[in-house]
Amino acid sequence: MAFDPKRAKTFIDGEWEESILPTLIEYIRIPNKSPAFDEDWAAHGHMDEAIGLAERWARAHAPRDATIEVVRLENRTPVLLVEVAGTGPGTVLLYGHLDKQPEMVGWEDELGPWTPVVRDERLYGRGGADDGYALFASLTAIRALQEQRASHPRCVVLIECCEESGSVDLAPYIEHLKDRIGAPDLVVCLDSGCGDYERLWCTTSLRGIVIGDLEVSVLREGVHSGDAGGIVPSSFRVARLLLSRIEDAATGRILLEELEAEIPSDRRAQAEKAAAVLGTAVFDKFPFLGGAGPAIDDPVELALNRTWRAALEITAADGIPDLAHAGNVLRPRTKLRFALRLPPTIRAGEAAKALRGALEADPPHGAQVRATAGGQTGWNAPPMATWLEVALNDASKQWFGPEAVAMGEGGSIPFMGMLGERFPDAQFVITGVLGPGSNAHGPNEFLDLPTARRVTGCIAQVLQTRAGRG
Q: Which residues contact 189 (CB under 8 A, 6 or more apart)?
A: 94, 95, 96, 203, 413, 415, 416, 428, 429, 430, 431, 432
Residues 234 and 130: their CA atoms lie apart, in Å, by 41
- Domain range 5-206+379-467, its CATH number among 3.40.50.410, 3.40.630.10, 1.20.272.10, 3.40.30.10: 3.40.630.10
3-state secondary structure of 127: coil
- Identify the CATH class of 208-267+307-376: alpha beta
Amino acid identity, position 379: W
In the chain, the N- to C-terminal Cα span, in Å, equals 15
pLDDT value at residue 104:
94
pLDDT value at residue 373:
96
With b for 16 or more beta-carbon neighbours within 10 A and e for fewer, the 412-431 pattern comes to bbbbbbbbbebbeebbbbbb
Sequence ranges of the domains in the chain: 5-206+379-467, 208-267+307-376
Name the band, by pLDDT with cuts 50, 70 and 90, for residue 418.
confident
Whether the pLDDT of residue 470 is over 80: the answer is no
Query: How buried is residue 282: exposed, middle or buried, by Cβ count under 10 Å (0-12/13-18/19+)?
Result: buried
3-state secondary structure of 207: coil
Name the band, by pLDDT with cuts 50, 70 and 90, for residue 419.
confident
Q: What pLDDT, in 10s, does the model give residues 109-132? A: 999 999 999 999 999 999 999 999
Lowest-confidence range among 77-81, 152-156, 217-221, 281-285?
A: 281-285
For the chain, what is the mean pLDDT?
Answer: 96
**Cα–Cα distances in Å, from 257 out to 307, 346, 467?**
17, 11, 45
The pLDDT > 90 percentage for the chain reads: 94
Which one, of 224, 231, 249, lies nearest residue 239 by Cα?
249
pLDDT value at residue 413:
84
Amino acid identity, position 339: A
The pLDDT > 70 percentage for the chain reads: 100
Number of Cβ atoms within 10 Å of the Cβ of 307? 26
Whether the pLDDT of residue 469 is over 90: the answer is no
Q: What are phi and psi of 252, to 5 degrees?
A: 85, 0
Residues 314 and 312: their CA atoms lie apart, in Å, by 7
Which H or E run contains 311? strand 311-318
**What's the average model confidence in pLDDT over 76-89?**
97
Whether the pLDDT of residue 412 is over 90: the answer is no
pLDDT value at residue 291:
92
Lowest-confidence range among 79-88, 362-371, 422-431, 444-453?
A: 422-431
**What's the average model confidence in pLDDT over 73-84?**
98
**Is 359 in contact with 377 (CB distance < 8 Å)?**
no
The alpha helices in 285-329, defined as continuous H runs, are 299-308
* Torsion-angle region of 182 (φ positive above 0: left; ψ -120 to 50: alpha; else: beta): left
3-state secondary structure of 297: coil
Query: How buried is residue 432: exposed, middle or buried, by Cβ count under 10 Å (0-12/13-18/19+)?
Result: buried
Q: Which residues contact 346 (CB under 8 A, 6 or more apart)?
A: 208, 258, 259, 260, 261, 310, 377, 378
209 or 1: whose pLDDT is higher? 209
Which H or E run contains 449? helix 449-467
**What's the average model confidence in pLDDT over 196-215?**
96
pLDDT value at residue 1:
63
Which one, of 70, 90, 87, 88, lies nearest residue 79 by Cα?
70
Residues 135 and 248: their CA atoms lie apart, in Å, by 42
Q: Which residues contact 18 (CB under 8 A, 6 or more apart)?
A: none
Number of H helices, E strands in the chain: 16, 18
Give the dihedral of Cα atoms 21, 25, 30, 31; nearest 10 deg.
Answer: 100
Q: What is the DSSP string of 66-113?
A: EEEEEE--TTS--EEEEEE--SSS-EEEEEEE--B----S-PPTT-BT
Q: What pLDDT, in 10s, does the model give residues 323-382? A: 999 999 999 999 999 999 999 999 999 999 999 999 999 999 999 999 999 999 999 999
3-state secondary structure of 360: helix
Name the band, by pLDDT with cuts 50, 70 and 90, for residue 166.
confident
